[in-house]
Every structure is written in C-alpha cells, then in structure tokens.
C-alpha cells in the first residue's frame, strides 16, 4: 500500500541547484505522478528555482530554523502539522534521538538515508557513546538506505542485528542535466559565451570543500608543476572552506597565477563540468559516494581520484577514470601526467564514465526504487510493524 503523505526531513540548505535539489525535484515529480502528498522540510534558505519547481498542490515546503539542527522541537511541530505516514530523513546522524520521536510518538514509518563520509579523528570515548546511541535508536528505523556499498558495510558493522533493514541505494544523477557538449558545439566559443575563463585551454577542474580532507592542499603543488609542463592547461577551483585564504595567497604569489582560477561557490557546476577536460578529486578520507565524480562522469569528463571510501564504486579504475591509493601521493603526478598528455585516453574514459553513470546512478530509476521501498513499508492498517523490502537494490 502506498503512503498518502511523505515528509522529507533534510538538515541541509537547498540554496543552489545541485544533485540533492535535483533529487527533491525528481521526488516531487514522482509523488505527483502517483497522486501522493509531499512535505519537504529543509534549512532556510531555499533556492528560488527549487521553490518554483516544487510549488504546487501536491507539495508543501517548510523552511527550518537553524535550531532544527540542535533541538527536536521544529521536528515535533512539523509532525504535528502534517501527520505523515512516512518520514524520510537526510543528512542526520545515525544516532539521532529524532528517530524514536518519529517512529514511536507519531507512529510514522521511518526511512534513513545515510550520506555520511568517515569523519576524521574521533576520540575513542565519544565513539563508544555514539555506538551505544546508534544501536538504541536503530530500533526505531524501518529502513536504512546507505548511498554506497561502502557505507552499507560500515552500517552493518555498527548495527549488528540490523542487516535485514540495510539496503544500499546509490545517489541519483540527473543525466539530462549533467551531459557533455554536443559534437557540433565549438567548445571555445561556448566557454567564452558562458564564462569569463579561457576557452582556448584545457581545464583541470576541482569542485569541493576547500578543506584538508578533500586533498586540495596536497595536490596543489603537483598541479603547479604540471601547469609549467603543460602551458595549454589551466586549473579551475570551485568551492569554499577553511583553506580558501591560504590558496588565494599562494595563487597570488605564483608565476602561474594567470592560469589558476579560484571561483568560490557556484550554481553552474553542470556547465563547468561540461567545459572541463579533466576532473580531479584527491580526497583523503572515506567518501560516502563521490557525488561530484559521478556528475563529472555523467558529463563525459575523465576523472582522477583517490581510491577511498565509496569512490571505487563510482570510478572504475582504468575504465571510467584513474584511481590512486590515498597513502601514496607520489603516484598523483605520473597519473595526472598520463591523462593530461593523452586526449584519446581522456575521451575513452569520459565516454565509458557516462555509460556507467547512466547504468548505475540514473536519477529517475533511483527515485522509482525509493517509492517502491515506501510502498512496501506502509501497512494497510495503522500501527507499527516490521518488514522491509527484501531484495538488495
């Protein structure tokens, strides 16, 4: 039986059109097709384009205050207002005390998507407390949807006895939005029409938080060396974070500063990926999935990344991109060199990467599977019961 009202509780700011916003739009469209009501609760502010796309009789948008990240009161207020049959949470820790409130106080089915990467450096005592909380609240969760096999394996280790309700569901990519330039398009003219960036050079692109765990500080000296060797390349950096000021100063002092572009946060990442020649993701921590890598591959852009976390599920080494061990940074330079000097290799990896994304991570199929899970979880009568979809998605 299908739920009649689904509430999405996401502790994220949907202030740009990225892949999570694409997901909300696809979820809204599928709910409307099925005749269901959708309530989307997320942190303020909402992107204007997202509001426009979700506006309608089948969907209610609620802008959450910052206190929703610390207090259960906004959640309780939303549950009282809407009385959903099912609540689906995103970007909430797996030990959240919100889960018992949703499941047992309001008797709603509870689906939890786990997007979490491995956090660096937790102390042992805090980890033990988290483990106890996680096991206690797991009884309230009907279904966990980790975004990769890597995250699913971690959940199974952390939640013994919950294996039956852990079902991997990959992040979805809108392959209509993330797509390559057509063969008929003149790349240089297209770039010059869309950006104040050089269209006559190859782009090495980094998109992500400017933080140590993303590896930008470790790869930067290597990229500088390669820019000296390859004068027809430039380095485009998109994102913000604690290393931004240091990077800006380093760029200003570099003799190659005319070929390094620090753009900050952007709303046009799909176009940036489409214009790029090679995408670099040197993360040093256990990435849950590698969303930007999937978006780059969907754009038929060759990718270079560290073999960590869920990234090997997104990037197939030697088939859709190149992977190196995160503890062997000396391999970065020769791997990047091989890709930068070989257009046929980049083209092959990029085309095969797009095929891989279409096969494994297509947004519309992911949303259909999500609603299939909802239907299997919703009982034909009130009250809690056990039972989750049986097949592994």
pLDDT at 189: 97
**Above pLDDT 90, what percent of the chain?**
85
Whether the predicted pLDDT of 35 surpasses 50: yes
pLDDT at 128: 76
Classify domain 187-360 at the CATH class level: alpha beta
Place 380 in a pLDDT band, splitting at 50, 70 and 90. low
Whether the predicted pLDDT of 387 surpasses 50: no
The reply to whether the predicted model has a pTM over 0.85 is: yes
Alpha carbon distances (Å) from 200 to 191, 197, 268: 9, 9, 20
Whether the predicted pLDDT of 391 surpasses 80: no
Q: Which of 119-133, 137-151, 302-316 has the lowest mean pLDDT?
A: 119-133
Average pLDDT over residues 114-136: 73
Whether the predicted pLDDT of 120 surpasses 60: no
Beta-carbon count within 10 A of 252 CB: 10
Question: Which two tokens mark 135?
Answer: 């096991």
Q: Which of 170-179, 258-267, 362-371, 378-387 has the lowest mean pLDDT?
A: 378-387
Whether the predicted pLDDT of 21 surpasses 60: yes
Q: Closest Cα to residue 294, out of 306, 279, 309, 284?
A: 279
Whether the predicted pLDDT of 345 surpasses 60: yes
Place 388 in a pLDDT band, splitting at 50, 70 and 90. very low
Whether the predicted pLDDT of 134 surpasses 90: no
pLDDT at 126: 59
List, in order, residues 6 or more apart from 149 with CB less than 8 Å away. Answer: 168, 310, 313
**5-172+362-377 matches 187-360 in fold:** yes
pLDDT at 393: 45
| Distance from C-alpha of 296 to C-alpha of 51, rounded to nearest angstrom | 26
**Residue spans per domain, the chain:** 5-172+362-377, 187-360
State phi, psi for 294 to the nearest 5 degrees. -65, -40
- The fold of 5-172+362-377 is Rossmann fold (3.40.50)
pLDDT at 56: 84
pLDDT at 119: 63
**pLDDT tens, position by position, 55-85:** 888 899 999 999 999 999 999 999 999 999 9
3-state secondary structure of 350: helix
| Distance from C-alpha of 391 to C-alpha of 387, rounded to nearest angstrom | 12
pLDDT at 122: 52
Asked whether the beta carbons of 288 and 117 are under 8 A apart, the reply is yes
The pairing of beta strand 233-238 with beta strand 202-207: parallel
pLDDT at 386: 41
| Average pLDDT across the chain, whole number | 92
Q: Which of 237-241, 272-276, 384-388 has the lowest mean pLDDT?
A: 384-388
């Amino acid at each position: 039986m299908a739920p009649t009202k689904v509430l999405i509780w996401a502790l994220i700011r949907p202030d740009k059109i990225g892949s999570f916003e694409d997901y909300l739009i696809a979820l809204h469209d599928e709910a409307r097709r099925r005749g269901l009501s959708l309530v989307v609760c997320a942190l303020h502010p909402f992107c204007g384009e997202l509001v426009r796309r979700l506006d309608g009789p089948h969907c209610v948008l609620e802008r959450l205050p910052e206190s929703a990240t610390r207090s259960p009161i906004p959640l309780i207020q939303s549950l009282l207002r809407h009385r959903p049959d099912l609540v689906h949470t995103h970007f909430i820790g797996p030990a959240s005390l919100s889960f018992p409130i949703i499941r047992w106080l309001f008797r709603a089915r509870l689906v939890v998507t786990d997007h979490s990467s491995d956090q660096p450096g937790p102390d042992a005592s805090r980890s033990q407390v988290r483990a106890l909380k996680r096991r206690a609240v797991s009884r309230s969760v009907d279904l966990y949807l980790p975004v990769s096999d890597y995250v699913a394996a971690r959940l199974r280790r952390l939640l013994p006895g919950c294996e039956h309700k852990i079902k991997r569901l990959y992040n979805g990519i809108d392959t209509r939005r993330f797509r390559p330039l057509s063969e008929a398009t003149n790349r240089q003219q297209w770039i010059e029409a869309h950006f104040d960036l050089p269209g006559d050079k190859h782009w090495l692109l980094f998109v992500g938080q400017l933080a140590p765990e993303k590896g930008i500080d470790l790869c930067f000296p290597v990229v500088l060396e390669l820019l000296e060797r390859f004068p027809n390349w430039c380095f485009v950096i998109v994102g913000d974070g604690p290393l931004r000021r240091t990077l800006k100063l380093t760029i200003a002092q570099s003799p190659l500063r005319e070929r390094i572009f620090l753009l900050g946060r952007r709303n046009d990442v799909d176009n940036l990926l489409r214009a790029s020649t090679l995408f670099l993701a040197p993360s040093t921590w256990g990435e849950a999935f590698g969303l930007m890598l999937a978006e780059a591959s969907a754009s038929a852009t060759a990718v270079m990344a560290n073999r960590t976390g869920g990234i090997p599920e997104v990037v197939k080494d030697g088939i859709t991109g190149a992977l190196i061990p995160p503890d062997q940074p000396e391999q970065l330079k020769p791997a990047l060199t091989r890709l930068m000097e070989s257009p046929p290799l980049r083209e092959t990896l990029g085309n095969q990467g797009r095929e891989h994304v279409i096969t494994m991570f297509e947004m519309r199929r992911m949303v259909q599977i999500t609603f299939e899970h909802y239907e299997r979880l919703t009982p034909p009568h009130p009250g809690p019961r056990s039972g989750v979809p049986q097949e592994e998605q």
